[in-house]
Structure 1
Amino acid sequence: MVDASNIVKARTFRALHEQPLLVLPNAWDAASASLIARAGAAAVATTSGGMAWSLGVPDGEALTRQQMMAAVHRICAAVDVPVTADIEGGYGSTPEDVAATVRATIEAGAVGINIEDSHARHGTLRPPGEQARRLQAARHAAADVGLPQLMINARTDVYLLNAIAPARRFDEVMIRASAYAEAGADCLFVPGLSDLATLSALTAASPLPVNAMAGPTGPTIGELATAGVRRVSVGTALAQAAYGLVEQATRELLESGTYGALDEAVAYADLNAMSFGEDQRYGFLPETEPLRVCVERPD
């Protein structure tokens, strides 16, 4: 069953959603999660893309469930604030697979999940009814292990993919919002939608609070709040910025021999003083398990 401290975190995380707006920066390892918490975040979200890249594979369920849960475990052990985990599409084709993933996610220490309705390997949307059954399985699995408070952020990729004509996307999102709410989801995440007028219409009509993805080319946090958005995350943006700095600093070192890009570096002593929790070298992932890379064969 669930540790009592995680039940407290789950209740805390759920209460944070009662605020006008919850901002969730996305971490990809223990150090980034610790820095996000140190900067004042009330909770931490994970990014599947950043976690995959840090392990040398592409985003899109190229990691196994066990590999992803080991990474989630390390992040949860590193911070005292609630963590919500990006579990991509749920790591399996059946609702039972989703249930197993949710149980593993809770065991890893997370108190929320983000689960998407597209097939990572094919770039297609699951039918609303099929995804609703997967969400129901997630809700039942959380209750079965003693964490009915698990926050389920139902991501729909209607706007992110080109599978549906633009004129039909809003109506399709509304169909899915209703189905996902009935299945037990707590939030609706619509990455790819940044138009403020459309977001305003969606937040007014959706049966679920809306999570929007923020980024450097999109609306500000304040503008999203005015549009009625209740939860904001940044996906892979922080990881991309960190890796961008690595490349920029390296080019500067090699080309000019200077160190200007390193001016904002976190102090060595500060990073070294962070407590990343116990068993951080291994989590519950055996050293010998190889990474799995999923490559789609051309038809």
Structure 2
Amino acid sequence: MAYAPQVDAFRKLHEAGCFVMPNPWDLGSARWLHGQDFKALATTSAGFAFTQGRADQDVPRDMMLAHIAEMVKAVPDLPVNADFENGYADTPDGVAANTKLCIATGVAGLSIEDATGQPDEPLYPFELAVERIRAARRAVDETGSGVMLTARAECFLTGHPDALNEAARRIAAYAEAGADVLYAPGPKTKEQIATIVAAAGGKPVNQLIYGDFGLTVPEIAALGIRRISIGGALARAAWAAFIEATRLIRDEGSFKGFAGNGPSAPLNPFFTADLKARDLKAHS
């Protein structure tokens, strides 16, 4: 079956080797990453939420869909994977309906997580979580889009008391339920990562860089990981510099270290050239 070029490219990236898929949070950061020759990009729910003055997990569905569509439009020649949180629904039918809405934005992939957002029950019960992935799988198949479905086990990030074993159990079940890619954010040791890779049963696994845990891209790839994402780390890095600069102004009356950056170098020349290239391509 013929899929959109971005979907075909995304599927090929997962067939062998390992690639890094960074996470822009707005049009400018997407174009910058595009210019650094990354082969695919992914949205970040946290990074986008901060641009809207909201906390992560507090962005309404339609606002998120509009953002995902903007990211797809920003890099039309690159695959974009959508961080679609929990599918914006608790029930399998709701996840299926919203999965189709996400696919309609033009993404090459999307992820569905099993975190509820409720502190008293942070993960969906096992059987319900599996049914939600099955429903998303059916929705993808019904569209005929070939969009890659990533299933996320949020056991580490929600503080499950037996996070590794429960994540491995869920990853294996999600692979059986039809997920194309498996993802358990949080493992940091080689042993933990290897356990998740084994649980996926040969299907591609995404590794989140969640803090600096001392492993390089080649070392992570050697463990069998096919895809590396960064989540909201780039957005948080930008915010960290911004927060420190505002602290210096407020507390010390100082502009040291950030105000003498000239004419926004290297951003001005990059965006000038990038926009010119886009205009030429659009009219060619």
TM-score w.r.t. structure 2 length? 0.86
Structure 2 CA distance for aligned equivalents of residues 46 and 82 of structure 1: 11
| Structure 1 counterpart of 2:233 | 237
Structure 1 CA distance for aligned equivalents of residues 127 and 217 of structure 2: 32
Q: Secondary structure at the match of 2:151?
A: strand
Instruction: In structure 1, list runs of 5 or more residues that go unmatched.
Output: 278-299
* Greater Cα offset, 258-267 or 8-17: 258-267
Q: Secondary structure at the match of 2:4?
A: helix
Correspondent of 2:52 among 55, 64, 69: 55
Correspondent of 2:83 among 80, 83, 86: 86
Structure 2 CA distance for aligned equivalents of residues 20 and 257 of structure 1: 45
Higher-RCO chain (CA-CA 8 Å, sequence separation at least 6): 1
Q: Secondary structure at the match of 1:191?
A: coil
* Greater Cα offset, 228-237 or 171-180: 171-180
Residues 54-133 of structure 1 aligned to structure 2 (within 5 Å): 54-60=51-57, 62-79=58-75, 80-122=77-119, 124-133=122-131
Structure 2 CA distance for aligned equivalents of residues 58 and 138 of structure 1: 26
Q: Structure 1 pair 129/89, CA: closer, same or farther in 2 (3 Å)?
A: same
One-letter identity of the residue aligned with 1:138: A
Is 2:171–2:196's contact at 8 Å kept on the other side of the alignment?
no
Is 2:113–2:153's contact at 8 Å kept on the other side of the alignment?
yes
One-letter identity of the residue aligned with 2:139: A
Task: Report whether the alignment pairs 1:28 with 2:22.
Answer: no
Q: Structure 1 pair 55/265, CA: closer, same or farther in 2 (3 Å)?
A: farther
TM-score w.r.t. structure 1 length? 0.82
Structure 2 CA distance for aligned equivalents of residues 74 and 265 of structure 1: 25
Structure 2 CA distance for aligned equivalents of residues 32 and 84 of structure 1: 15
1:251-271, CA deviations, whole angstroms, 9 ceiling, x for partnerless residues?
Answer: 456633345476485422433
% same residue: 36
Task: Report whether the alignment pairs 1:188 with 2:182.
Answer: yes
Structure 2 CA distance for aligned equivalents of residues 81 and 203 of structure 1: 26
Q: Report the alpha carbon displacement of residue 154 of structure 1 after superposing the two structures with TM.
A: 0.8
Across the two proteins, how many residue pairs are aligned to each other?
269
Q: Structure 1 pair 262/240, CA: closer, same or farther in 2 (3 Å)?
A: farther
| Structure 2 counterpart of 1:40 | 37
Q: Report the alpha carbon displacement of residue 249 of structure 1 after superposing the two structures with TM.
A: 3.5
Q: Secondary structure at the match of 1:119?
A: coil
Q: Report the alpha carbon displacement of residue 91 of structure 1 after superposing the two structures with TM.
A: 0.4
1:181-230, CA deviations, whole angstroms, 9 ceiling, x for partnerless residues?
Answer: 12110111111111112212332343232211114422222221122222
Residues 126-275 of structure 1 aligned to structure 2 (within 5 Å): 126-147=124-145, 149-163=146-160, 165-166=161-162, 169-207=163-201, 208-218=203-213, 219-252=215-248, 255-260=253-258, 263=261, 265-271=265-271, 274-275=274-275
Q: Structure 1 pair 252/14, CA: closer, same or farther in 2 (3 Å)?
A: same
One-letter identity of the residue aligned with 2:124: R
Is 2:171–2:199's contact at 8 Å kept on the other side of the alignment?
no
RMSD: 2.4
1:108-133, CA deviations, whole angstroms, 9 ceiling, x for partnerless residues?
Answer: 11110111111123361112221221
Runs of 4+ residues deviating >6 angstroms: none
One-letter identity of the residue aligned with 2:268: Y
Is 1:210–1:231's contact at 8 Å kept on the other side of the alignment?
yes
Is 2:109–2:148's contact at 8 Å kept on the other side of the alignment?
yes
Q: Report the alpha carbon displacement of residue 273 of structure 1 after superposing the two structures with TM.
A: 5.5
Structure 1 CA distance for aligned equivalents of residues 207 and 188 of structure 2: 8
Q: Structure 1 pair 78/249, CA: closer, same or farther in 2 (3 Å)?
A: same
